[in-house]
Structure 1
Amino acid sequence: MEWIRLKARLLEAGAARLSGEPADEYVSRSAAGPSAGRKSGSLFFSVGDRRVRLGLDEASPIMVFHRGGGEAVLIIDREEVPGRLEPAALHCPRQAYVTVSETCVFHCRYCRVPALPGRRKDIADIVEMVESVADRVDAISITSGVASSIEEEEAYILEVVAALMPFGLPIGVSIYPGSETPARLHALGVVEVKFNIEAATEVLFREMCPDLSWGAVWDSLRSSVALFGRDRVFSNVIVGLGETDEDLERVMQDLAAIGVIPVLRPLTPAASLTDRSRPPAARLLSLYDTHERILQQAGLDPRRALTMCAACTGCDLVPGRDR
């Protein structure tokens, strides 16, 4: 099966069951992102230099059979796909991806983080975590909820970033931004940022994130491109919140026009959206073609990403990486 079609099918399913030899070293658990709070964890299945992240679910019709030593076979629709399991350094392969505050005072409808019994990691603990994987990562990525306020969270993240600079690795940051967040992160030496508009339209954003500002995120994205440069600023757009494909095409064009690379993130039904479905593979493939065309026309290339989601590619179809 062609990789892009296989990955779209796997992203539609979202999960697989794991069997065969013990594979604990390949199973990770997250405090943020699509698999936040998933007790069973997730794994990365790779074929060559391409990868996909799958949650673990004993009820899934898709199976990953571990032969041992990371060698694995994915069985889907009676087809066997040989590949390997990739160990996650921290959260994903080849990156120390750290969630700083595992809780959030905001209650976006698609996000389960506010309901989790999370904590804020101490800076010394974060440094120790990165030290533990520094010999097998190429980058550091930082994300966070908002423990008390946007301003207080930013101040703490700046302290975290300053403490991690001595590792000499490229650092990317994805948090909810204040008006001065881009400039302050850039001044510290951060190389990439990801500020998420989340929804394809302002109406949907207000419905999904009623306590946050759509306009403020766009302002931060615009100022970030001037600071970090093209191919260094990203924004997640969730697919499956109720938008049309035309809505997504329009917002991707708007982001690309200001030099921002959109990251199309298939919805993981959670929180108050547990009754929703993950987007079907056919829709993801159609959107991929549109996404690829818009990026090419704008001269943007996700393959240049050094950190965060566009460098990992596990949870999304990424133009230039998954064709």
Structure 2
Amino acid sequence: MKAETKTQLISVGSVNMDPSLIHWLTIPTAGPGAGNVAFFFSSGGHRVRLAVKKESPLQAEMENGELVIRKDGVEIARGDIEEELIHCPEQAFITMCEKCVFDCKFCPVPKLEGKIKTMDEMLGMIGKANETGKMHAISITSGVEISPESEVDRAEELIRRLRETYSVPIGVSVYPTEDSTPRLKNAGADELKYNVETMDRPLHKKLCPDQDLEFILQSLEQGVEIFGRNKVCSNFIIGLGESDKSAKEGIEELVSIGVVPILRAAAKHPLREGELTVERPSAERLLMLNRFLREKLDEYGLRADIFKTMCLPCTGCDINPHSDLE
């Protein structure tokens, strides 16, 4: 599987297959893909996460111990179904709160009856993951149950307690508060992610009415000052109605302040039907924007392939411009 094939798979985002073939089926609980059954597919040093959907134009079946993916009867990729630890391979990726009071129009989480994990439950999950010997990092994310401040409180406590036991890298992704960045760093976090969602100002105001993009950008800039370069990233959804020009301007704005953007393909969800127009980006658009992103990262001296936690080392949902592109 080459980068072009991976972008083709991401642009579709799903396969039609027998779920019983998969031993590590999971249902994501955070972000636009929440609620979909998904698995990790690995081939030729590349990894992609695919949802299982009967209506997918891609067909997958096992042949001689490998998963073979075809479109219109033509093979496009073959490889392995990859074992997950928690949410992704080699990481204990914990969603503290699977609910959210923010009403971002592309995200199903506010519509789902997600759970809120207790501190003991999260510590227990990470302890079991560590016992496998396969845990190379811990990542923490969260919705917003009551307020961003309460989630930062919980993240800070969880990170402090984890640092008493574990020396692996810890990454954290929450909605920022006035003092969240120094608090999370002092607690023991190594990497930080505050999500802009979209850098198109009019779209952000429309689709994320409860969030303040300018405050998020200020917090990201502070994050680079406190955590350092190549330690701060941000999800940037592509396919919400932004133009290529807008996307490129947003990429350069983030990179210029030392932030590594993660270009996430927009996904339609039935719980958000009629609330927004989503056009999942084509493989060609994903490649074009990620090649532009790589140029800008190189120009500003940033790397996407040296992060240790969260989405950039996983690479399942996105193109990593340094590890996926030649």
Which of 278, 287, 290 is the aligned partner of 2:289?
Answer: 287
- What secondary structure, in the 3-state scheme, does the structure 2 residue paired with 1:46 have? strand
Query: How many Å apart are 1:87 and its aligned residue?
Result: 1.2
Match of 2:82?
A: 86
Paired residue for 2:153? 155
The corresponding residue for 2:67 is 72
CA distance in 2, matches of 1:10, 1:33: 19
Alpha-carbon distance between aligned partners in 2 of 1:242 and 1:282, rounded to the nearest angstrom? 16
| In structure 2, C-alpha distance between the alignment counterparts of 1:195 and 1:66, rounded to whole Å | 39
Which residue matches 2:49?
Answer: 53
Structure 2 gaps of 5+ residues are none
2:268 alignment partner in structure 1: 269
C-alpha distance 282-80 of structure 1, shift in aligned 2 (>3 A): closer
Supply the AA of the counterpart residue of 1:276: V
- Please say which of residues 241-250 and 155-164 is displaced more in the overlay: 155-164
Q: Which moved more, 1:3-12 or 1:169-178?
A: 3-12
Deviation at 1:130, TM superposition (A): 0.9
Q: C-alpha distance in 2, partners of 1:27/1:89?
A: 11
Aligned counterpart, 1:29: 27
Deviation of 1:282 (Å): 1.4
| Contact preservation (8 Å) 1:19, 1:66 | no
User: Which residues in structure 2 correspond to 1:290-305 (within 5 Å)?
Assistant: 290-305=292-307
Does the alignment pair 1:118 with 2:121? no
Q: How does 1:224-239 map to 2 (within 5 A)?
A: 224-239=223-238
Identity %: 36
Aligned-pair CA distance for 1:133? 1.4
Please give the per-residue CA displacement for 1:123-175, whole angstroms capped at 9, x wherever unaligned: 11101111111121210100000000111111111112122221221110011
Equivalent pairs, count: 318
- Give the alignment of 1:94-243 within 5 angstroms: 94-134=90-130, 135-165=133-163, 166-243=165-242
* Residue 199 to residue 275, structure 1, CA distance change in 2 (3 Å): closer
Q: TM-score, normalised by structure 1?
A: 0.94
Alpha-carbon contact 1:51-1:313 (below 8 Å) kept: yes
Give the Cα separation in 2 of the matches to 1:106 and 1:190. 25
Would you say the 8 A contact 2:105–2:276 is kept in 1? no
Give 1:122 deviation, angstroms. 0.4
Structure 1 distance, partners of 2:53, 2:175, is: 31
Moved over 6 A (4+): none
Structure 2 CA distance, aligned partners of 1:260 and 1:275? 27
Q: Distance in 1 between matches of 2:309 and 2:62?
A: 28
**Contact 2:172/2:191, CA 8 A, preserved across alignment:** yes
Aligned with 1:64: secondary structure?
A: strand
Deviates more, 1:71-80 or 1:174-183: 71-80
The offset of 1:63, in angstroms, is 2.1
Deviations 1:271-315 (A, max 9, x none): 255752311111111112111111111111111010001111111
Q: Give the residue type in structure 2 aligned to 1:117.
A: E
What residue ranges of structure 1 are gaps of 5+ in the alignment? none
| Contact 1:123 1:163 (C-alpha < 8 Å) held by counterparts | no
CA contact (8 A) 1:18 1:66 kept: no
Which letter does structure 2 place at the counterpart of 1:217?
A: I
Where 2:102 maps in the other structure, the secondary structure is coil
- Which segment drifts farther, 287-296 or 158-167? 158-167
- Kept after mapping to 2: 8 A contact 1:179/1:216: no
Report the residue type matching 1:95 in the other structure. Answer: Q
1:263/1:316 contact within 8 Å kept? yes
Which residue does 1:244 correspond to in 2? 243
Q: Which amino acid aligns with 1:54?
A: L
**Cα contact 1:19–1:63 (8 A) shared by 2:** no
| In 1: Cα distance, 2:32 partner to 2:48 partner | 13
